[in-house]
């Protein structure tokens, strides 16, 4: 049985939720449900109230809850289905619109790479630790890795 919940929010928040849901090809209800559920399951291991609530309601812990990437990142993870089932043991590997449209910020790339390295996975992004991939073209070098199309950076070789 499912229950309906009415949520009051500002017009701007509603517009943001609507855009966010459309971006991830979800309904606004799915976004709110998943975010609320993630919050409960994340709090499960650190709060006796939530632990007691889960026990009394016979709610099974989410298999992803102990992972450091259990968050909004699940919406963009290529292993989301396998992870929910408890089959995928690694951490986030981004896919979908964030990757397709080069929307992951430098800060986001560093966070994802750090999670992946900590889990023993090959990082998805080049980070400052590694030398950037540079390809010589005549007397110039062009940065080709993680550079948005049309935004290649040219530097003169010395």
Domain locations along the chain:
9-62, 77-127, 130-158
DSSP result, 65-127: TTSTT-SGGGGGBTTHHHHHTT---S---B-SHHHHTT---HHHHHHHHHHHHHTTPPPSS--
Quote the pLDDT of residue 152: 47
Task: Please give the chain's pLDDT, 158 residues, in tens.
Answer: 889 999 999 999 999 999 999 999 999 999 999 999 999 999 998 999 999 999 999 999 999 999 999 999 999 999 999 999 999 999 999 999 999 999 999 999 999 999 999 999 999 998 665 444 555 555 554 455 554 555 544 444 44
With b meaning 16 or more CB within 10 Å and e meaning fewer, what string describes 110-144? bbbbbbbeeeeeebbbebeeeeeeeeeeeeebebe
Quote the pLDDT of residue 137: 55
């Amino acid at each position: 049985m499912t229950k309906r919940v009415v949520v009051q929010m500002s017009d701007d928040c509603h517009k943001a939720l609507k855009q966010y849901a459309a971006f991830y090809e979800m309904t606004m209800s799915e976004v709110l449900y998943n975010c609320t559920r993630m919050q409960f399951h994340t709090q499960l291991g650190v709060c006796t109230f939530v632990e007691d609530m889960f026990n009394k309601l016979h709610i099974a812990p989410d298999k992803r809850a102990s992972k450091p990437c259990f968050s909004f990142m699940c919406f963009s993870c290529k292993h989301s289905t396998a992870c929910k089932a408890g089959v995928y043991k690694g951490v986030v590997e981004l896919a979908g619109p964030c990757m397709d449209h080069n929307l992951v910020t430098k800060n986001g790339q560093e966070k994802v790479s750090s999670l992946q390295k900590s889990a023993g996975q090959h990082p998805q992004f080049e980070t400052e630790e590694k030398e950037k991939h540079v390809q010589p073209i005549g007397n110039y070098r062009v940065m080709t890795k993680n550079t948005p199309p049309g935004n290649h950076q040219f530097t003169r070789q010395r």
